[in-house]
């Protein structure tokens, strides 16, 4: 165990307060200070606005409206577009017949109005009017000279949210599918929908998970791969999984999941558990299970997550599997943390990793995806004030942000199906995991958002680990990096930027799916494919456009390719499995442990 880890073990986290300030909130201008009164006012405002900064929204609106006022050409263009749209809608409304359709207009079919009932008058006119409104507002909020990119994204986002709320599909009298179902069932569908709504309302008021999650029990039918907790500190439990093969690869695998989620997204059901797959392929697997933080963990910092998390786990693994390097894999924020840890080890001359694997993890945050909508100085000042009072970021706040980013799939379509059509969607393991959200310590989260998302310190060579900066250019371990085509949390082009941050050997994989479904992509699953291409150490940079055109396409899951990649970087033939734990790190209890059960 490292001296840094031992130093942190007996410590007691202190809530952030005026006497225990948060260094992450320091601004470049030393004259700016947040007094306790300012913090209380901002925190109170955050409770009213659900942590959305009205100042940030107002600035975006002023920027957009002000520049639009001085753009007569843009206004004339929007006026002409609006008149043309109204004329077309009026003509279609008078026909009392279905319009020519998406095929005739050359536009992509809208899945929100795919049911044939939407082609009947007057619902065809209502749906087309909604789509034309979306087109108009997209034109109005984009391409306006002088508006900052962030403010343009914010105004476009707010316009989409407002329009989504007014969609004719969300209301029973303007949704033909809902009306048809109500008539077919003599109103029973609406009655079931009301019962579903009351059930969800009651669950929300009591802090209970969504209906159907009770069918998925951690340790029984999810997160059920056999193993032992071999180490515990106040931030992590380290799980070692029981071998299923007579021989295993010499180097063990350490998985560093994101602390924004429970680790078992990588150990869901037996058929789609990445951890079980690795074990069955002859790998010795360890996985970090993060504690669900509360007030006592409010003052944990990013350095604590490195020392108590990655470094403490490596210390334990080196004791259980001595004289072997470790294949380390990080998912999402866990991958970013692993990258920082690897850069710090390279800076300090430590050679502990055999390779590094990153799943949908960003190291350059200049294009961080739609999450950037919620990240600016005004927004963070409000969020930090709220976290200072509570001690952590509530799990529901992150869930709400992700729902807004994909509001149709995660909010409106679900409400229509369950409350208007009376159909409860079937709960699956991934949805049950998604409902098992976690909190975030105030100090760590503030540092993460400011240093990485807002200031992009890691890419800029300014990110400090124990007071000294680290750079990804120092990393020389082979890298296997996985991104997904439709990721709105870590866009693949942003993940791809790792290519120019390190000269190390880098195998990049782009797979079908989103941030989660692209990673939980087990062999045998239908309609799966990926592209893969290796860049040798020190080779010339290839742009993401050229990579996309060059990388060969492979059918199926990328999991076998990763397992093969790990084995190719083995130090020798397979060996007998190590013991479960060691004298210094004895087995404490069966997996999945205690921390994953905390709510």
Any domain includes 193:
no
pLDDT in tens, 406-458: 667 778 888 999 999 999 888 899 888 988 888 888 889 889 989 999 999 99
Any domain includes 497:
yes
Residue 448 to residue 163: CA distance in whole angstroms: 32
pLDDT at position 23 is: 40
pLDDT at position 31 is: 39
pLDDT at position 68 is: 96
> Can you point out the beta strands (E) in 142-226?
none
Structural domain including 303 reads 227-368+442-597
3-state SS, residue 53: coil
Any domain includes 256:
yes
What is the longest distance spanned by two Cα atoms in the chain? 83
pLDDT at position 2 is: 45
Residue 351 to residue 326: CA distance in whole angstroms: 10
Any domain includes 509:
yes
Any domain includes 212:
no
Least confidently predicted of 316-320, 394-398, 494-498, 500-504 = 394-398
Residue 302 · residue 448 · CB < 8 Å: yes
Domain harbouring 241, CATH code: 3.40.50.1820
**Residue 3, pLDDT above cutoff 80:** no
pTM, entire model:
0.88
Residue 65 to residue 58: CA distance in whole angstroms: 10
Q: Which of 126, 154, 256, 332 is catalytic?
A: 332
Residue 84 to residue 361: CA distance in whole angstroms: 45
Any domain includes 30:
no
pLDDT at position 7 is: 38
| Domain count for the chain | 1
Any domain includes 482:
yes
Average pLDDT, the chain: 88
Any domain includes 173:
no
User: Is 481 designated active site?
Assistant: no
3-state SS, residue 68: helix
Query: By C-alpha distance, which of 349, 325, 151, 345 is closest to 251?
Result: 325
Per the document, the length of the chain is: 599
């Amino acid at each position: 165990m490292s001296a840094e880890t031992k130093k942190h073990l007996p410590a007691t986290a202190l809530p952030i307060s005026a006497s225990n300030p948060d260094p992450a909130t320091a601004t470049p201008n030393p004259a700016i200070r947040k007094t306790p009164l300012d913090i209380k006012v901002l925190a109170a405002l955050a409770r009213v606005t659900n942590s959305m900064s009205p100042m940030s929204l107002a600035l975006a609106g002023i920027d957009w409206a002000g520049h639009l006022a001085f753009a007569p050409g843009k206004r004339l263009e929007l006026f002409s577009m609006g008149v043309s749209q109204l004329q077309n809608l009026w003509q279609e409304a008078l026909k009392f017949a279905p319009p020519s359709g998406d095929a005739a207009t050359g536009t992509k079919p809208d899945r929100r109005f795919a049911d044939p009932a939407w082609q009947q008058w007057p619902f065809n006119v209502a749906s087309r009017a909604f789509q034309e409104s979306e087109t108009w507002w997209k034109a109005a909020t984009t391409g306006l000279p002088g508006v900052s990119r962030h403010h343009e994204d914010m105004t476009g986002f707010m316009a989409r949210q407002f329009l989504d709320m007014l969609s004719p599909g969300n209301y029973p009298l303007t949704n033909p599918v809902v009306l048809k179902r109500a008539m077919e069932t003599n109103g029973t569908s609406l009655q079931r929908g009301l019962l579903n709504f009351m059930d969800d309302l009651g669950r929300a008021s009591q802090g209970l998970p969504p209906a159907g999650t009770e069918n998925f029990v951690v340790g029984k039918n999810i997160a059920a791969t056999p193993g032992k907790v071999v180490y515990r500190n106040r931030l992590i439990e380290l799980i070692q999984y029981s071998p299923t093969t007579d021989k295993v690869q010499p180097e063990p695998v350490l998985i560093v999941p994101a602390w924004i989620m429970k680790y078992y997204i990588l150990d869901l059901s037996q058929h789609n558990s990445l951890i079980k797959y690795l074990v069955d392929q002859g790998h010795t697997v360890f996985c970090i299970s993060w504690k669900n933080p509360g007030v006592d963990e409010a003052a944990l910092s990013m350095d604590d997550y490195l020392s108590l998390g990655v470094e403490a786990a490596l210390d334990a693994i080196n004791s259980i599997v001595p004289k072997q390097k470790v294949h380390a894999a990080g998912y999402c924020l866990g991958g970013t943390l692993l990258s920082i840890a690897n850069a710090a080890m390279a800076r300090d001359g430590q050679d502990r990793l055999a390779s590094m694997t990153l799943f949908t993890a960003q190291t350059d945050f200049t294009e961080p995806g739609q999450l950037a909508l919620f990240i600016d100085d005004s927004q963070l000042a409000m969020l930090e004030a709220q976290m200072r009072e509570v001690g952590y970021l509530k799990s529901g706040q992150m869930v709400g942000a992700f729902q807004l980013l994909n509001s149709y799939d995660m909010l409106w379509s679900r409400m229509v199906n369950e409350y208007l059509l009376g159909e409860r969607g079937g709960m699956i393991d991934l949805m049950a995991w998604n409902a098992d959200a976690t909190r975030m310590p105030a100090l760590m989260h503030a540092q993460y958002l400011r240093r990485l998302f807002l200031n992009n310190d890691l890419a800029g060579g300014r990110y400090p680990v124990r007071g000294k900066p680290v750079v990804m250019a120092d990393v020389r371990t082979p890298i296997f990096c996985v991104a997904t085509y439709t990721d709105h949390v870590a866009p693949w082009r942003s993940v791809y930027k790792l290519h120019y941050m390190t000269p190390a050997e880098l195998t990049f994989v782009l797979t079908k799916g989103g941030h989660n479904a692209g990673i939980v992509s087990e062999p045998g699953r239908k309609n799966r494919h990926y592209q893969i291409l290796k860049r040798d150490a020190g080779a010339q940079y290839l742009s993401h456009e050229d990579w996309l055109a060059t990388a060969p396409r492979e059918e199926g899951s990328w999991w076998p390719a990763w397992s093969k990649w790990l084995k190719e970087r083995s130090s020798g033939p397979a060996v007998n499995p190590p013991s479960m734990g060691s004298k210094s790190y004895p087995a404490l209890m069966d997996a999945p442990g205690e921390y994953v059960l905390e709510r």
